Structure 1
Amino acid sequence: MSGTIEAAKPGEMTGGQALVAQLIVEGAKDIFAIPGIQLDWAVDAIRQRSNELRLIVPRHEQATSYMADGYARTTGREAVCMVVPGPGMLNALSGIATAYACNAPVLFIVGQIPSDTIGAHHGMLHEIPDQSGVLKAMTKWHGIAKTPAEIPGLVHEAFVQLRSGTPRPVALEVPPDVLQSAGVVNLLPRAERVRQAPAADAIARAAEAFAKARHPVICAGGGAVASQATAEIQALAERLQAPVVMTEAGRGLIDDRHPLALIGLGGRAVLPHADVVLVAGSRFLDGTATPTDKRDGVTYIYLNTDPNHMGAPRAAGIVLEGDVQEGARALLAAIGAGEAPAATDRIAKVKQWCAQQIEAIRPQHDYVQALRGTMADDDILVSELTQVGYYSNIAFPVYGPHRFITPGYQGTLGYGFNTALGAAHGNPDRRTVSLNGDGGFSWGMQELATLARDQLNLSVVVFVDGKFGNVQRIQRRVFGAEFGTDVASPDFALLGQAYGLPTVVTDSPEGLAEALRNAKQRGGPALIAVKVGEMPSPWALIHPFVPSPVPVPPNPLGDPA
């Protein structure tokens, strides 16, 4: 990187130029990155083509990967982020872990130390032992470029991986000498999305099971959303008159207002009476690795791109290894035309049972009503690990896919604000609302600078109680005392003023609703702090091992015998 390597000659590209050129061929429009010396030649290549690839620079490497995750999961397109090696990579890995958990197609570009020093342990700037090994453990696919000529093929293969099988992050390392070196480079055509169809004999067995079913149920997860299988799953549900139980990751696959759509809580009422269960794009396990449903005499059909999500400890069943959209489409064709007995009246009773429990949890219910009542159907809510956020995961009405975002099983406290920034960058014509507690918000508070600079169409809501509230509740229940749960928060009015952001401090659902309405009407960024007290636990609604406060309705599907 001393500058002794000559710039590209006519017909040649530097490695940095080849990287940017192939990203543009693959359809990348934005890249979340923080410049650094190992990336200089890549950043300069972005500058040269900044009318085609926008560089978005946050204040911390952690935000690059979270923003890419939010961008990918709300647009349905691949996202790209880039950081320097060593500490830069390590800072960004929490966002990569979240993207992995949530089926987000993110290309993670990571700088390296000079090629001839990798593995030599010379103590180079930003060197860490076996950086490649760390990346391989955290991603679906990994590559490292050794020459500029290799870069287009590696970028292309990264997008092949992102557009086939289970969508998960992939990683590409590019050493600084490779970015700076020049050579003849051949770009490749854009990678197309490849969808694997399940085996025909397995589809036939599943269709036969549905033909005999009296009370089928569909359980849909984040894989169904990632597959963009809304139309196919809804059509299959309507053909079978089967309720669709959506996991937290599957929220929005089917509009919550659809008569067959159920939240996870509703699954407790219908799954015990189902005789055939289609598990579409879901791990079908709770947080203790216990199957969501496992009973003798039930036919389970697993539709997933990942074989690890269709075996033990789940009950044995019919395995449909393939894309959810393709699998649902094949099932529809195999089942053929016909009319099943209408189930909407019976499912309506389950919806009422869910609503009765949801509406009893206050003030969370009132705050969620304030959120939903001020948002358009296609606005985006990014939830967080905070009291209103936990409740929202089950109770916020979601009217379509890519509109409700959680950290999935990774449970990444503090991911929310950064992720919402990425969602807002990817969806400038839709309002994004970021839901935070004052504990987790401090993880990314510095990104208020990014929000102010980019004037994003984003409302940031921070519930302020001065506590890590869930930790406090668990400590009290288990130990009878609390320790280390206090949070020192800033004066949010002054904080917003320091960044030049329109800021409101309130203490009621009505005040929140008014602030959200005004922010949406005004457009651009807003910071809203809501002072709250201790809230009741919502866990009985969320986790099946916590008993429901209201008795489950008796056999809403009828007798499956």
Structure 2
Amino acid sequence: MKNRDRETHLMTGGDAIVESLKAQQVDTVFALPGIQIYGLMDSLARNSDAIRTVGARHEQASAYMAYGYARSTGKPGVCAVVPGPGILNASAALLTAQGCNTPVLALTGDVESGYKDRGRGQLHELPRQLDMLKSLGKWAEHIEQPCDAPWLVARAFQEMQSGRPGVTALQGGWDYFTKSAHVAPVDPLPLQPKPPVDSDAIERAARLLKAAKAPMIFVGGGALNAAAEVRELAETTGAPVVSFRSGRGVMPDDHPLGFNVASGARVWPQTDVAIVIGSRFELLDIGWNYRPQGLQLIRIDIDATEVRRLAVDVNIIADAADGALALAQAVAAKGAPARRDGQLADVKASAAAAVGQIQPQISYLQVIRDVLPRDGIFVDEVSQVGFTATFGLPVYHPRTFISSGHQGTLGYGFPTALGVKVANPHKAVISIAGDGGFMFAAQELATAVQYGINLVTVVFNNQAFGNVWRDQQERFDGRVIGSELVNPDFVKFAESFGVQGHSVKTPKEFRLVLEKAFAADKPVLIEVVIPRGGDASPWTFLRPTFPEV
């Protein structure tokens, strides 16, 4: 890229950041204004023709919207909030984004420069705030002067998109954002080079696969941009592709080799070679907590630090697409394992039949899948329906199943879905939540109306934190505490914000209302009434037990 004109221009610290965001082709910022960042907000107001600013009623929602924007597109999301309690409110969302390897930039303020590190108790002062931001994500810095902003913004985008994506943050003093100085622009920095594929490691992996009788592939969020290459590897090896949460859709669930955790668990005990692509492989030690005898592991991951976290037989440090393609080509040249298509088809069918017993969740998910377009986006939540969706909702494209990953952040879903819809205004987007999780950010219905975010939100109301209630009933002799909920009338609640509201009690009613909701071109909330304790437990499929073989 050619360097732009290096002539300096007099601008405020807020302008220096906004001009740098424009250079990075940012088109949306999710923000909640406050006195420490007035200069930044004013610059966004003056540049509203280039950058849309979407407000919120809580800092956490601003950051979750940025996460949803980034997760559903692969492009960086940006949020801006005040320091201290503001950035702490946003921190749960930033932690979620970091855990899900999603590029999000958080912008925040700090105390005035003259009070920094003096502990004088200026408004929103948070001791060692920068250390906190560094601990949450990949990289964070303090901007001292407006002239520093273009370089630091460029560094923030380079860091959050290079290698394993993640969260970056920039803070400036209260006075920084309105201070004027001469500033020179900085071009976007190139991403750090991807590691070259190790041909020797590929050769060793291909040898293992040639001798394999029952290989399996596992994909996580690191494989979201490698769908074509993963499919080629799967079809070359005949290995089923299992995804848990973040990797859903990398291999379409209606492909013969597209497996979920329910069907994958049924062939896991016989697996002799596992290929793990862009995943922490949580299933091995936590979800399934079972390792077949003699199992050999091949890992493809761009993050070299993962080598220390899981002992494997062959490590391929590479971009997921590059590594998967190189391995597919090597297997094709060396010889592929014997096919077992018939066996795998039988496994998928038997698993689907068993999953169908998780009611009423599966019946409602079937309605969603029937009505939601193939490329529509489903945003889950920590709820009985959300847990069931990880194996009970077929997914066909990457980035169309959004979750909070291993963070399991209760209440993340609705505000995240607002950001997803902002980023994908012409796609159908559905947010599902339990009554407990929805109320974490229910006030953001106002945001949906104010900014015309035409999201369809489904609240499954069982008047409980359902998982906690079940655990207290089954594991603690029914001593229920804090898990039974009293809720508003959700229809009237939605209508009070100007949102169209509906309440249904059966999948048949739900289908009729959901079809109309997607056609309404306005925010819609649908309450699904379920008796407390009326949800079947999905945990048989999420934490299965394995017989000794």
Q: TM-score range by the shorter chain?
A: over 0.9
Q: What CA distance in whole angstroms lies between the structure 2 residues aligned with 1:108 and 1:420?
A: 18
Residue 6 of structure 1 is matched in structure 2 by none
Q: What CA distance in whole angstroms lies between the structure 1 residues aligned with 2:284 and 2:122?
A: 41
Deviation readout 1:250-308 (Å, 9 max, x if unpaired): 11111100111100122222222222211111111249647755345332111112344
Asked if 1 retains the 8 angstrom alpha-carbon contact of 2:212 and 2:273, the reply is yes
- Aligned match for 2:88, one of 87, 90, 115: 90
Q: 1:365 Cα deviation (Å)?
A: 1.1
Q: 1:109 Cα deviation (Å)?
A: 1.0
Residue 174 of structure 2 is matched in structure 1 by 176
Asked if 2 retains the 8 angstrom alpha-carbon contact of 1:393 and 1:406, the reply is no
Residue 408 of structure 1 is matched in structure 2 by 405
Residue 543 of structure 2 is matched in structure 1 by 543
Residue 414 to residue 158, structure 1, CA distance change in 2 (3 Å) = same
- Aligned match for 1:29, one of 14, 27, 30: 27
Deviation readout 1:344-400 (Å, 9 max, x if unpaired): 322111111210111111111111111111110011111111111111121111111
The answer to whether structure 1 residue 530 and structure 2 residue 548 are counterparts is: no
Deviation readout 1:163-193 (Å, 9 max, x if unpaired): 2111111111122322222222222222344
Q: 1:317 Cα deviation (Å)?
A: 1.6
Report SS of the residue matched to 1:98: helix
- Aligned match for 1:366, one of 363, 367, 376: 363
Q: What CA distance in whole angstroms lies between the structure 1 residues aligned with 2:467 and 2:268?
A: 29
Residue 151 of structure 1 is matched in structure 2 by 149
Residue 128 of structure 2 is matched in structure 1 by 130
Residue 3 of structure 1 is matched in structure 2 by none
1:44 alignment partner AA: D
Residue 246 of structure 2 is matched in structure 1 by 249
Q: What CA distance in whole angstroms lies between the structure 1 residues aligned with 2:194 and 2:43?
A: 33
Residue 226 of structure 2 is matched in structure 1 by 229
- The 10-residue stretch of structure 1 (228-237 or 190-199) with the greater mean CA deviation from structure 2: 190-199
Structure 2, unmatched stretches of 5+, are 1-6
Residue 394 of structure 1 is matched in structure 2 by 391
Residue 3 of structure 2 is matched in structure 1 by none
Q: What CA distance in whole angstroms lies between the structure 1 residues aligned with 2:55 and 2:343?
A: 51
Q: What CA distance in whole angstroms lies between the structure 2 residues aligned with 1:27 and 1:211?
A: 46
Asked if 2 retains the 8 angstrom alpha-carbon contact of 1:33 and 1:58, the reply is yes
Q: 1:340 Cα deviation (Å)?
A: 5.3
Structure 1, unmatched stretches of 5+, are 1-8, 556-561
Q: What CA distance in whole angstroms lies between the structure 2 residues aligned with 1:136 and 1:287?
A: 29
Q: What CA distance in whole angstroms lies between the structure 1 residues aligned with 2:387 and 2:288?
A: 21
- The 10-residue stretch of structure 1 (302-311 or 117-126) with the greater mean CA deviation from structure 2: 302-311
Q: 1:221 Cα deviation (Å)?
A: 1.2
Report SS of the residue matched to 2:378: strand
Residue 53 to residue 532, structure 1, CA distance change in 2 (3 Å) = same
Asked if 1 retains the 8 angstrom alpha-carbon contact of 2:250 and 2:397, the reply is yes
- Aligned match for 1:303, one of 297, 300, 307: 300
Q: 1:448 Cα deviation (Å)?
A: 0.4
Q: What CA distance in whole angstroms lies between the structure 2 residues aligned with 1:10 and 1:242?
A: 57
Q: What CA distance in whole angstroms lies between the structure 2 residues aligned with 1:418 and 1:154?
A: 28
Asked if 2 retains the 8 angstrom alpha-carbon contact of 1:195 and 1:326, the reply is no
- The 10-residue stretch of structure 1 (91-100 or 343-352) with the greater mean CA deviation from structure 2: 343-352
Q: What CA distance in whole angstroms lies between the structure 2 residues aligned with 1:473 and 1:542?
A: 16
TM-score, length-scaled by structure 2: 0.94
Report SS of the residue matched to 2:460: strand
Identical counterparts, % of pairs: 38
Q: 1:10 Cα deviation (Å)?
A: 7.9
- Aligned match for 2:373, one of 376, 385, 388: 376
Asked if 2 retains the 8 angstrom alpha-carbon contact of 1:30 and 1:55, the reply is yes
Deviation readout 1:132-173 (Å, 9 max, x if unpaired): 111111111111111111111111111111221111111111
Report SS of the residue matched to 1:12: strand
Q: What CA distance in whole angstroms lies between the structure 2 residues aligned with 1:10 and 1:541?
A: 60
Q: How does 1:69-108 map to 2 (within 5 A)?
A: 69-108=67-106
Asked if 1 retains the 8 angstrom alpha-carbon contact of 2:271 and 2:292, the reply is no
Q: How does 1:426-505 map to 2 (within 5 A)?
A: 426-481=423-478, 482-505=480-503
Residue 201 of structure 1 is matched in structure 2 by 200
Residue 317 of structure 2 is matched in structure 1 by 321
Q: 1:56 Cα deviation (Å)?
A: 0.5
Residue 215 of structure 1 is matched in structure 2 by 214
Residue 230 to residue 128, structure 1, CA distance change in 2 (3 Å) = same
Residue 332 of structure 1 is matched in structure 2 by 328
1:224 alignment partner AA: A
Q: What CA distance in whole angstroms lies between the structure 1 residues aligned with 2:401 and 2:426?
A: 16
Q: What CA distance in whole angstroms lies between the structure 2 residues aligned with 1:64 and 1:392?
A: 26
- The 10-residue stretch of structure 1 (284-293 or 59-68) with the greater mean CA deviation from structure 2: 284-293
TM-score, length-scaled by structure 1: 0.92
- Aligned match for 2:158, one of 148, 152, 160: 160
Asked if 2 retains the 8 angstrom alpha-carbon contact of 1:100 and 1:168, the reply is yes
- Aligned match for 1:353, one of 350, 353, 359: 350
Q: What CA distance in whole angstroms lies between the structure 1 residues aligned with 2:172 and 2:36?
A: 9
Q: 1:234 Cα deviation (Å)?
A: 0.5
Residue 10 to residue 153, structure 1, CA distance change in 2 (3 Å) = closer
Q: 1:205 Cα deviation (Å)?
A: 2.0
1:332 alignment partner AA: A
Residue 286 to residue 10, structure 1, CA distance change in 2 (3 Å) = closer
Report SS of the residue matched to 1:268: helix
- The 10-residue stretch of structure 1 (293-302 or 73-82) with the greater mean CA deviation from structure 2: 293-302
Asked if 1 retains the 8 angstrom alpha-carbon contact of 2:134 and 2:140, the reply is yes
1:178 alignment partner AA: Y
2:395 alignment partner AA: V
1:539 alignment partner AA: W
Asked if 1 retains the 8 angstrom alpha-carbon contact of 2:381 and 2:410, the reply is yes
